[in-house]
């Protein structure tokens, strides 16, 4: 198969199951103390309360976790990747592993007695999503779960920003991957994650990271600046800086090359996973050897398609037409 010839991306993240529900209004967010548009860590008890308050037969269940979403989407496009995470030895853990292996993603999963983590994704009427995350077993990933052999056969390591709370874990992963010759990429995950770890993140990026993905809130939290100025500051710390500005597109900078990438027309119903899909499209372009503009356009395409569906993963029946659109982008360049 073609994708076996591509340079491979190894994703490391919180292996979770997403449970996505549309809410009638934002009152439920206030009731549970969830800042609109953020990711909030909750314990098992609060996760259960939120589940009982919002779950219905219309709720969608799928594999989740930011980097897990990226790896699934990358596989859908035809990219080559693997995934490192920790789940419970339970039904949701089996759902996660089976879904990945069915997509042809190589899994490097370890198991815990703690339950598999889950994300209650609450989608407001204007399509903004707020996440209440019970990490469960995912939080028990440790530096000992990394071995030098793990990185063999991979060219990129993609670390999930939500793991940044575990400084020892992140440091172990990036330093071992760097020693193995991989390029390191990180997504900044959420503005509140950046707020709590700003100094650590700046040090990490300057010393280890080659590619940074941030949305405008995360970029502002890291630098104190608006998107374009933030792009310039972040690009001084790494090789490629990407700042996403929602429906207004994205900025990409590498050295002296600065690009503004537009968006595709999309009827947004749920923004869950839009940034994760952007990263998948961008990685696909990089691993195919495309230039930054082509990679950015593929990223924008996949991101735009994702906001038109509930949840972070495109339905299998859409990949044929999406891949046809990718070919059109590549042939135009």
Q: What is the model's pTM?
A: 0.89
What is the pLDDT at residue 5? 60
- Note whether residue 2 is domain-resident: no
- Note whether residue 3 is domain-resident: no
DSSP code, position 315: -
What is the C-alpha to C-alpha distance for residues 297 and 258, in angstroms, rounded to an integer?
14
Domain containing 321 — which CATH number? Answer: 3.40.1190.20
What is the pLDDT at residue 267? 85
Count of the separate structural domains present in the chain: 1
What is the pLDDT at residue 145? 94
Q: What is the pLDDT of residues 279-314, one digit of tens each?
A: 999 999 999 999 999 999 999 999 999 988 877 788
Q: Decide: 277 and 70 in contact? Cβ < 8 Å.
A: yes
Mean pLDDT, 10 residues at a time, the chain of 333 residues = 67 94 94 92 94 92 91 94 96 93 94 94 91 94 95 96 93 97 95 94 97 97 97 98 95 97 86 89 97 97 89 82 93 81
Q: Decide: 187 and 67 in contact? Cβ < 8 Å.
A: yes
What are the angstrom distances between the C-alpha of 80 and each of 5, 51, 234, 274? 8, 34, 28, 20
- Note whether residue 192 is domain-resident: yes
**DSSP result, 44-72:** HHHHHHHHHHH--TT-EEEEESHHHHHHH
> Which tokens go with 246?
């929602």
What is the pLDDT at residue 1? 36
Q: What is the pLDDT of residues 104-161, one digit of tens each?
A: 999 999 999 999 999 999 999 998 889 999 999 999 999 999 999 999 999 999 999 9
Distance of CA 143 to the CA centre of its chain: 21
- Note whether residue 4 is domain-resident: no
- Note whether residue 1 is domain-resident: no
What is the spatial order of strands in the sheet that 60-64 belongs to? Answer: 39-41, 129-136, 116-123, 16-22, 60-64
Q: Which domain holds residue 317?
A: 9-332
> Which tokens go with 253?
């900078």
DSSP code, position 7: P
- Judged on CB neighbours under 10 Å (0-12, 13-18, 19+), 279 is buried
- Note whether residue 127 is domain-resident: yes
- Note whether residue 136 is domain-resident: yes
What is the pLDDT at residue 333? 66
Q: Which residue has the tokens 């390591």?
A: 157
**DSSP result, 210-273:** SEEEEEHHHHHHHHSS-HHHHHHHHHTTSSEEEEE-GGG-EEEEETTEEEEE-------S--TT
- Note whether residue 38 is domain-resident: yes
**DSSP result, 133-151:** EEEEGGGG--GGG--GGGG
What is the pLDDT at residue 2? 44
> 209 by DSSP, 3-state: which?
coil
């Amino acid at each position: 198969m073609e994708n076996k010839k591509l340079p491979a991306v190894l994703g490391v993240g919180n292996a979770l199951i997403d449970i996505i529900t549309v809410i009638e209004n934002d009152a439920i967010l206030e009731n549970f103390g969830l800042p609109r548009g953020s990711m909030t860590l909750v314990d098992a008890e609060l996760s259960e309360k939120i589940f009982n308050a919002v779950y219905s037969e219309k709720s969608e269940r799928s594999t989740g976790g930011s980097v897990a979403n990226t790896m699934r989407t990358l596989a859908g496009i035809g990219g080559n990747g693997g995934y490192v995470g920790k789940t419970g030895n339970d039904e949701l853990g089996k759902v996660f592993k089976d879904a990945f292996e069915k997509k042809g993603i190589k899994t490097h999963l370890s198991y815990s007695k703690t339950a598999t983590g889950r994300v209650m994704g609450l989608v407001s009427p204007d399509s903004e999503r707020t996440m209440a995350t019970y990490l469960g077993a995912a939080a028990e990933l440790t530096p000992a779960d990394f071995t030098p052999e793990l990185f063999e056969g991979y060219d990129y390591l993609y670390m999930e920003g939500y793991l940044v709370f575990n400084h020892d874990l992140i440091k172990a992963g990036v330093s071992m991957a760097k020693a193995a010759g991989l390029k390191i990429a990180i997504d900044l995950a959420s503005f509140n994650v950046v707020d709590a770890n700003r100094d650590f993140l700046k040090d990490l990026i300057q010393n280890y990271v080659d590619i940074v993905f941030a949305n405008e809130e995360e970029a502002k939290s890291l630098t104190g600046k608006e998107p374009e100025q933030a792009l310039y500051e972040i690009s001084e710390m790494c090789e490629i800086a990407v700042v996403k500005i929602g429906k207004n597109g994205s900025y990409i900078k590498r050295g002296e090359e600065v690009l503004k990438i537009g968006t595709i027309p999309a009827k947004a119903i749920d923004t869950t996973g839009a940034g994760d899909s952007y990263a998948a499209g961008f990685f696909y372009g990089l691993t195919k050897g495309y230039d930054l503009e082509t990679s950015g356009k593929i990223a924008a395409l996949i991101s735009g398609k994702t906001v038109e569906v509930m949840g972070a993963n495109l339905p299998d029946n859409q990949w044929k037409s999406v891949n046809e659109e990718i070919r059109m982008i590549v042939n135009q360049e």
